Every structure is written in C-alpha cells, then in structure tokens.
Structure 1
Amino acid sequence: MTTAILAAEEGIQPGVHWTVVIAGLKFNMDTIIMTFVAAAIVTGAGLYMARRATKGRPSGLQIAFEALTSWVQGQVRDGMGLRTPKGVVALAVTSFAFILVANSLAILPIHHYLPPPTADVNLVYAMVLFVIVWVWVAGLRAKGPAKWFGHLAHGGVAMVPIEVITVFGSRPISLALRLWGNIFAGGIMVSIIGLIPWWLNWAPTALWKLFDLGIGVIQALIFTLLTIIYFSDSVGSDDHAEAH
C-alpha cells in the first residue's frame, strides 16, 4: 500500500496510456508506436537474415531462427501429425519472435512514456482473438462442424457446459492475461524501484531488467507452446487436415 501511495505521488500511473481520439474512437498511441517498433525489428531481422542465409557459414541470427523453426515444427508434428493446418508453423514462429521483441522493449529507459506493447491488455486480447479464431477455423475445416463440435461432448453430456466455457471463455482469457499480467507487473516493479534515490536504484533496476528479460523469453515460449497445443486439440492428427 505504501509503495502504491508513493508511486501515485511521484506521478507514476501504471496502465494509463497516451491516447488520441479519432472519429470517436480512442487509440492508445504508446501501444501503437511500440507495436510498430517491435514489428519493424522482427521484419527487419527476418529480411536481413533471409538475404544473408547460407548453408556454409550461417550467422548467429540464422542459427537462432532455424533452431526456433525446428522446435516449432517438432511440436506441431507431435501434436498434429505430419499434415498440419496451413500457416501454423509460421504463426507460431512469428508470434514467438514478435512477443520476445515486444517484451524486450521493457529494458529501454523510456517505459514510463512508451511501455512495451504487451503491457497493454488491449493488444494482447487482439493477438489472442486472432489465434483463437484461427484455431476454431482450422478445427472446423479439418474435422467438419459435426465432428468438431461433437468433441465438446467427449466427456459426456454433463461435461458440455464446462467444455464450452473452457474452449470459448477461460482458454483465450487465460492465454491473454498470462502474458499481459507478467509484462505489466514488470513495468510496475521498475516504476517502484525508480522511487529509490538515483544513486542507489541503478543496481536493483539493472538486476530487475535482466530478470524481466528472462520472464519475457519464458512468456514468449509459453504463448507459442499454448498456441500449438490449442491447434493440436482443435485439429488433432486427422489425415485429412490440410497440408502445411
């Protein structure tokens, strides 16, 4: 409670965004700017790596990308068989790269003004909605409506309400809040540490930012792995799933 009061007195307001209203719609400009920054870094790194990709002496970036892609392909193959919905691997790899970069922006000394975009629940909900709808569409295409909706009753008729709540409610909400909560909490901790006198706060700030980087990597992995698991649950390993 004391730290919250001190933070308020210092003008630290976690969750408050720089907003602009256009045609009656409110836009969180800090989130939009940092989202474009993260997307530009991921796109630039991808284009740079693609132009310099080689079998002879791969760069560290190429090795990291190939390792990530190989891991994702293995997870997808284990969950959905050799034939997977089109674009799942690309979605998982891109999601990991974007979330990792977005989370890592927390180390910049501008988080009071331009926090990492994943600290805004609005962006995270949009990302999760995109993934979940893709999961549902892939499942419907792979199994057909009757079989896909039928799996909701695999535990018996009494379990249908619980399955509906899980698939259409708790699963997407938990996926979003897990990512947002960790990144948002990290921003609050840095703000609170900033209340310590400047000649002392550099050490805990540096240590916490290193810890925050580790959390960012873990959250990117969890989001990516859960995305693959949700696709696996929705599609299964049916042979008639569309080839990747």
Structure 2
Amino acid sequence: MLSMEQVEEKLNFWNFPQQPWHLGQIGNFPIDLNPRTIVMTWVAMLLVIIFAVAATRNMDMRRPGKLQVAFESMYDFVRGLVNDNMDPVKGLSLLSIVLTYFIFILFSNLLGLVPTLNSPTADYNTTFALSLFTFVLIQFFGLKYKGLGYFKHFVKPVFVFLPINLVEELSKPVTLAFRLYGNIYAGEVLIAVLLGLFPLVGDIFGGFIASVIWLGFSIFVGGIQAFIFTMLSIAYVGQVVADEH
C-alpha cells in the first residue's frame, strides 16, 4: 500500500512542482501560487473557448450539429434557471455570466477525469475566486436595481440584526467555495486512495484504470456541482433584485 505522497508522485506525469510557490505572506495568511492549478485552469478555459466557438460557428436551425444541440441545451437549461428565480428582463444581463459559470465549472470538474490531469476546482483558490465573483455580482445587481436602498436589508427587521445579516452575507461566498472544492477534491482523493490500495495501476498512464473505475460517478458529481454553484449564484442575485411586496 502506498502513501498519499507516493501516489501523488506517481500521478505527476507532467512533473509539476509538488509544493506551491510561496510568494509572501499577509499577516498569518501565506500567498502561494500553485503552477498545476494555473495550467489546468488555462486548459479548462481553452476547452471552453473551443467548445463555444465550435458549437456556434456554423449554426443551422434545420440540421443542428451535435455540439450546437449540446450548447443550446445548456443555454436553455441555464436560462430556465434564471427566469425561474428573477424577472427575465433583469436576468438577461446575468444570463451570459452564469452560462459561462456552468460550462467552465463543468469542464473544470471533468478535467480531473482525464488521466494525468487535475481539476482546477479541486484547489480552493479557484473555487474562492469564483465565489468572490458571485459575491461581487450580488452587490452589483443589488445596487443597480435598488440603489443605496439595497443596504436597508442589512438592518432588517431591526438595526440590532446588522451583525447577523453581515455574517450571513459574508458566509455566502465561503459556503459556495467550500461546497464545490470539497466535493471535487474528495473525488480526486478517492482516486488516489484506490491507487494506494492497488499500487500497480498507478503506473499505467497516470492511474488510467482508477480514473475509468471512478468515471461514471465523477461525471455525475461534476455535473451536479456545476449545477449547484450556478443555481445558488442565480438564487442569491435573484433575492437582491426581487421587488419587495
């Protein structure tokens, strides 16, 4: 049986540095740069661009291609989520953002299933960046449609609830980030555990067998987590732009 360190060394087919690069420190918080996550993030972004361009380059309403059908299905699915949670007119400006969310997170989640590659979303730095962007969207749309009156909800029902409401607001990006990171990271850890129990399969193209064994469930989890992150982002924005009655 192999240790986690030995398994990670076997899986490091591209010879990425095992330890992140330490750039400095702010107070008690280190500033680290993980080259593997950066490379995998750029790979995921490149795949999203290729997919979007290929799916929309020669669109045909009479005989749509498979990629066009897949892209349109994602678009209709996300548009339905937006329209169910907020006014369609208000949601129109949000639609392209959350559609990109869904496709990027889905591709990132599934990237770790490719032998020798890793999911960028298995790194909390990536998930926190995404969740902080959602937090910015919440504040932006709140101010856009309600002006300074948006901040009234922090002191409702009475002013003494201000600390509680602030904690609730700040907890949104934290829970979003850890939910996505935890589920994707757990899947990659489980693959590493399988490789540790059966060391020989780790030598076959970066753990190809273990990846295939876990493939079906990981695809399901990757899709569900992309949906949950996108859905919660839409719901949070929908709450702040909703008309008060």
If the TM-score is normalised by the length of the shorter chain, which range does it land in? 0.7 to 0.9
Partner AA of 1:49 in structure 2: A
Which of 33, 54, 58 is the equivalent residue of 2:64? 58
Q: RMSD across aligned C-alpha pairs, in angstroms? A: 2.7
Which of 213, 218, 241 is the equivalent residue of 1:212? 218
Q: Secondary structure at the match of 2:89?
A: coil
Q: Does 1:126 find its partner at 2:126?
A: no
The verdict on how the C-alpha distance between 1:131 and 1:9 changes in structure 2, with shifts beyond 3 A counting, is closer
Q: Does 1:109 find its partner at 2:115?
A: yes
TM-score by length of 2: 0.82
TM-score by length of 1: 0.83
Structure-2 residue corresponding to 1:19: 20
The verdict on how the C-alpha distance between 1:153 and 1:191 changes in structure 2, with shifts beyond 3 A counting, is same
Q: Does 1:227 find its partner at 2:223?
A: no
The verdict on how the C-alpha distance between 1:17 and 1:154 changes in structure 2, with shifts beyond 3 A counting, is farther
Q: Is the 8 A contact 2:124 2:178 kept in 1?
A: yes
The verdict on how the C-alpha distance between 1:106 and 1:9 changes in structure 2, with shifts beyond 3 A counting, is closer
Query: C-alpha distance in 2, partners of 1:28/1:179?
Result: 18
Q: Is the 8 A contact 2:82 2:91 kept in 1?
A: no
* Mapping 1:174-189, distance limit 5 Å: 174-189=175-190
How far the C-alpha of 1:26 sits from its partner, in A, is 4.2
Query: C-alpha distance in 1, partners of 2:87/2:107?
Result: 30
The verdict on how the C-alpha distance between 1:197 and 1:68 changes in structure 2, with shifts beyond 3 A counting, is same
How far the C-alpha of 1:135 sits from its partner, in A, is 1.4
Partner AA of 2:161 in structure 1: M
Q: Does 1:90 find its partner at 2:96?
A: yes
Query: C-alpha distance in 2, partners of 1:17/1:199?
Result: 21
Partner AA of 1:60 in structure 2: K
Q: Is the 8 A contact 2:4 2:192 kept in 1?
A: no
Task: Give the structure, 1 or 2, with the largest relative contact order (CA under 8 Å, sep 6 or more).
Answer: 1
Could you tell me which runs of 5 or more consecutive residues in structure 2 were left unpaired when the two chains were aligned.
12-16, 26-30
1:20-52 C-alpha deviation (Å, 9 max, x unpaired): 467997421111111010000110111111112
How far the C-alpha of 1:197 sits from its partner, in A, is 4.0
Q: Secondary structure at the match of 1:55?
A: coil
1:93-134 C-alpha deviation (Å, 9 max, x unpaired): 1000000001101111214xxx21111101111111112112
Aligned pairs, how many?
228
Q: Is the 8 A contact 1:34 1:116 kept in 2?
A: yes
Percent of matched pairs sharing the same residue: 32
How far the C-alpha of 1:156 sits from its partner, in A, is 3.6
Structure-2 residue corresponding to 1:198: 200
Q: Is the 8 A contact 1:100 1:216 kept in 2?
A: yes
Q: Secondary structure at the match of 1:38?
A: helix
Which of 135, 148, 157 is the equivalent residue of 2:150? 148
Q: Secondary structure at the match of 2:33?
A: strand
Query: C-alpha distance in 2, partners of 1:126/1:197?
Result: 35
Query: C-alpha distance in 1, partners of 2:184/2:127?
Result: 11
The verdict on how the C-alpha distance between 1:64 and 1:9 changes in structure 2, with shifts beyond 3 A counting, is closer
Query: C-alpha distance in 1, partners of 2:163/2:52?
Result: 43
Partner AA of 1:211 in structure 2: F
